[in-house]
A and B are shown apart, each in its own frame.
Chain A
Amino acid sequence: MTAFRALLKKELATLFASPLAYLALTLVMLVTALIFFDHLRIYNQILFLYASSQMGGFESDTIPDHINVRDSVFFPVLETLGITLIALIPVITMRVFAEERARGTDELLLTLQLSPGQIVLAKFTVTFGFVLLMMAGSFVYPAMATVEGGIGAEHLLAVFVGLSLHALGLASLGLACSAFSSSQLVAAVASWAVGFVLWDFAWAGAFVGEGFGRFLDAVSMHPRYGSFAEGVVRLEHIAYFAGLALVAAALARLSFDWRRVAG
């Protein structure tokens, strides 16, 4: 247990000793704030345009349906941030296993009374913690602005729960890719590729039948976290991302055995 705790501390120290962690935190918070503020500004302008014209006010059906907080602010934030995370998360996860492998320090870890399972658990825990911190940080400003607007942050919370799960799913994929490579660049590129492919299979709809299309829809990440944008938190979607993390952890654990075999 002491060795496990020491590994956790070491992972945390390594993470925050690198400017990359701060850069990632900054980028996600800044991008969220800019996208949110920009969409909010446009939304308010359109609302006031309608209210100040001949339409008469906010109380009746004078404002088109599609101009509302959900469609004009929450959806675009979710979509843009979702794609930004696909690009950003692999940069965080690429070094986690690959760096140790490149330096040969992974062998050293195995001599410290730590099983491969414990190593995987420690690295997943620290990475997931960091990703959650990043998402929580990015949630602060939109939440404050929304609450101040008198709308209540419950719906927005659902959006960020979805985004956080999406980020954790991407981190899982990134960690699995990192576990199978000794090159950080290869790990990052592989994570981008897998994340991009798993993001949404809507493109495949034209090639496959209705039944297989539904299956592809079920394994895609976008329809899963997208439903959170509607304000609905469904446990099966949470289970999907938990399953993704579980499989990724099992794959990362397999990489230790694979390395012994493939060298």
Chain B
Amino acid sequence: MRELLGVGAIAMAFGILASFASEEPGWFALANFGVGTAALVLGALLALLRARHAGAPAFRAPLAAGVARVALALLAGVALERALAWADVRLDWSFERKFEPAPATLGVLDDLCEKGAVEAVLFRDDFDPRKRSTRILLETLAARSCLAFQERRLGDAPGEEERYGVGTSNTVIVRHLADGRPETIELVERPTEGTLYETFSLLAQREGGVLWVARGAGEGDLESGGPNGYSGLAAALATEGYALRQFVSPATTEIPDEVAAVLWIAPERAIPEEALGALDRYLRRGGRLVAWLEPGAPSGLEDLLARWGIEPASGVVVDPASAAIGGCVPGLCPLVYAYATSHPIARGLDPTRMTFFRGARTFRLRKPEIEDRLEQVALASPRSWIAPDASVLERGIPPERPPEETGDYHALVVAGRYVRDGREARIAAFGDSQLASNHDLRALFNLDLVVNAVHWATAREPAITLRPKVAVSGRMQFPIPIQNTFTRFQSLGLLLPELLLIAGALVWVRTRSA
């Protein structure tokens, strides 16, 4: 009997091993499963025959009680597990609470749910470890919204895979069945909360209004996909429901009232007076402007902003509190030290959620009218000072701080609200444009600060929130200093086991000599 059970167990183990290795049932695995099952069944029968006298009345009662205890334990275990699975009690101890959906994600899902049913299908391979994370994420979203979540093993539904273009494991198809509209489908190949959020946003087709983006005076290019381009910003704004229209500033004499906001990204040359006049009139009629200015590049926009109480200072902010991050010269790429957390643009941001500027100028605020409200939204550290010559950015050497400079907070982002003839104009100004470029937009929390500013300018405050990260968050990719780790490895990782092994050896010697 024992021999049979042994042979059965070994054959089954090799069958499983072969299946694991080849990820499919080959002849070797099948043969082993056949032999193993036969041996185990035969062994079990022999064991039962051996214990046939268990049916005797004297043995029946204690055995029955024992079996009942096992059944009860099994039942209790399953019931408890099922009850807790139903209650879905979970603690999220992951880095930056990866499985706590951002309000932005839940908000866009609510929008989708209001319009119709939402379904997510995860196509995965049995052996793909990434499915675990995606499954938890989709289960969490399903528990918090109308999202219906299903899983399909890759290869089980070839027709469906062909139709949706599913090629790899860990791919999610999101379907939206809106009332009275044809089904819309999006494919997500690297599902994170961020990519799912962007997919939901596309399906939701939220309307944020038309944004006019200036061109013609060397501004940032929304169509350029290079590191210094702004295609990422364009895509992010489209995701948020904005329609972007580019306008050539030298040919513009009027900006229509229907424009939700004008975006002016780092003009390098002088903007024609007519265009600036059109912008000024647009603002006086309750228009909205988001401007990104680069140090040392006068364009005429500075004078217009100054008339609205936002005076861009010349020179560059040098912040000794900011280290050499992202290839920057130390001090020249300030990290935001403090936010005006009461202001909607900074909603959800705090000193641990940093934003990063690559060479910035600052602003001085002076109210044009007593009722106007001007605020500093993001500030460099109190150690920051202004280097008057903007060419320090090109020299790549940290400038020396003059002895008379004591340092002070310097505004990197400011915002103003102005009521003119009963209509409210809004202006948000950034002291740098690089933070919105493809290179830096998704660094740290830059995207949130930038998109929040556009939402605020267009009076879409409810849409202001932190966005889930598309890629793995930054802290997960920070290095752990190997030198310190090596010291710990020697003292704790090696010394403790060594001492234990010595103790074991002593015990062994004593046992043998006893």
Contact at A196–B92, with CB atoms within 8 Å?
no
Residue interface bits A188-201, CB-to-B below 8 A is 1, else 0: 01100100110000
Residue among A70, A227, A239 facing the most chain B CB atoms (10 A cut-off):
A239
A32 to chain B, nearest CB (A): 8
Q: How far is it, in angstroms, between the C-alpha of A240 and the C-alpha of B82 when the chains are bound?
A: 9
Q: Is A151 an interface residue (CB 8 A)?
A: yes
Q: Does A114 contact B (CB under 8 A)?
A: no
Q: Report A48-89 CB contacts with B as 1/0, cut-off 8 Å.
A: 100000001111110101011110000100000000000000
When chains A and B are docked, how far (Å) is the Cα of A239 from the Cα of B489?
Answer: 34
The residue of chain A having its C-beta at the shortest distance from the C-beta of B71 within the complex is: A250
For chain A, the count of residues having a C-beta within 8 Å of the partner chain is 95
State which of A148, A240, A260 has its C-beta within 8 Å of the C-beta of B488: A148
> Which of A16, A37, A47, A210 contacts B153 (CB under 8 A)?
A210
**Contact A258 B80, CB 8 Å, known A48-B479, A140-B496, A197-B16:** no
The CA-CA distance from A77 to B211 in the complex, in Å, is: 50
Query: CB distance A149 to B479 under 8 Å?
Result: yes
Q: Is B325 an interface residue (CB 8 A)?
A: yes
A37 touching B493, Cβ below 8 Å = yes
Question: In the complex the two chains form, is B477's CB within 8 Å of A47's CB?
Answer: yes
Q: When the two chains form their complex, are residues B51 and A261 in contact, meaning their CB atoms are under 8 A apart?
A: yes
| B500 and A29 within 8 A (CB) | yes
Contact residue among A19, A48, A234, A258 (Cβ-Cβ distance under 8 Å from B507): A19
- Bound-state CA distance A37–B90 (Å) is 30
Please state if A29 and B476 are interface contacts (CB–CB under 8 Å). Answer: no
**Once the chains bind, are A242 and B77 in contact (CB under 8 Å)?**
yes
- List B contacts of A243 (CB < 8 A): 73-74, 76-78, 80-81
When the two chains form their complex, are residues B77 and A239 in contact, meaning their CB atoms are under 8 A apart?
yes
- Chain A, Cβ-Cβ closest to B61: A257
A202: chain B residues within 8 A (beta carbon) = 20, 126-127
Nearest-neighbour CB distance to chain A for B60, whole angstroms, equals: 9
Q: Residue on B with the closest CB to A231?
A: B94
Q: Which residue of B lies closest to A54 (CB)?
A: B327
Q: Is the pair B484, A258 in contact by a Cβ cutoff of 8 Å?
A: no
- In this complex, the interface size class of chain B, counting residues with CB under 8 Å from chain A, is 35 or more
Instruction: Say yes or no for A12: interface residue by CB 8 A criterion.
Output: no
Q: Give Cα A249 to B74, complex, Å.
A: 11
Determine if B54 and A262 form an interchain contact, defined as CB atoms under 8 angstroms apart: yes
Give the residue of A146, A150, A227 whose beta carbon is less than 8 angstroms from that of B136: A227
CA A107 – CA B157 in complex, angstroms? 59
**In this complex, what residue of A is CB-closest to B21?**
A203
A38: min CB distance to chain B, Å: 10
Which residues 82-139 in B have Cβ within 8 Å of A in the complex? 82, 84-85, 87-95, 98-99, 126-127, 129, 132-133, 136
Contact residues of A between 172 and 195, Cβ < 8 Å to B: 186, 189-190, 193
Min CB distance, B61 to chain A, in Å?
9
How many Å lie between the Cα of A239 and that of B77 in the bound state?
7
Task: Decide if A121 is an interface residue (CB 8 Å cutoff).
Answer: no
Q: Nearest chain A CB to B230's CB is how many angstroms away? A: 15
The reply to whether A44 and B480 contact each other, CB–CB distance below 8 Å, is yes
Cβ–Cβ contact A247 & B70, under 8 A: yes
Partner of A70, one of B95, B443, B479: B95
Report chain B residues within 8 Å CB of A75.
Answer: 129
Say yes or no: A235-B484 contact (C-beta < 8 A), given A68-B477, A186-B2, A243-B74: no
Question: Across the interface, do A193 and B12 meet the contact criterion of CB distance under 8 Å?
Answer: yes
Chain B, 473-514, CB within 8 A of any chain A CB? 474-482, 484-486, 488-489, 492-494, 496-498, 500-501, 503-505, 507-508, 511
Taken residue by residue from 204 to 241, chain A's Cβ proximity to chain B (1 for < 8 Å, 0 otherwise) reads as: 11110010010000000001001101111111101110
Given the interface pairs A141-B488, A189-B6, A197-B12, the reply to whether A262 lies near B50 with Cβ below 8 Å is: yes
Among A69, A193, A238, A239, which residue has its beta carbon within 8 angstroms of that of B476?
Answer: A69
Q: Is the CB of A223 within 8 A of B132?
A: yes
Residues of A within 8 A of B (CB): 16-19, 21-23, 25-27, 29-30, 32-34, 36-37, 40-41, 43-44, 47-48, 56-61, 63, 65, 67-70, 75, 137, 140-141, 144-146, 148-152, 154-155, 157-158, 186, 189-190, 193, 196-197, 202-207, 210, 213, 223, 226-227, 229-236, 238-240, 242-244, 246-247, 249-251, 253-254, 256-258, 260-262
23 A-B contacts (beta carbon < 8 Å): A19-B511, A29-B496, A30-B497, A36-B493, A40-B480, A58-B325, A59-B444, A60-B326, A65-B471, A69-B476, A148-B481, A149-B479, A152-B95, A155-B95, A196-B13, A226-B129, A230-B98, A231-B95, A232-B92, A234-B84, A243-B77, A250-B74, A261-B54
5 A-B pairs with the lowest CB-CB distances in the bound complex, closest first:
A243-B77, A22-B504, A231-B94, A149-B480, A33-B493
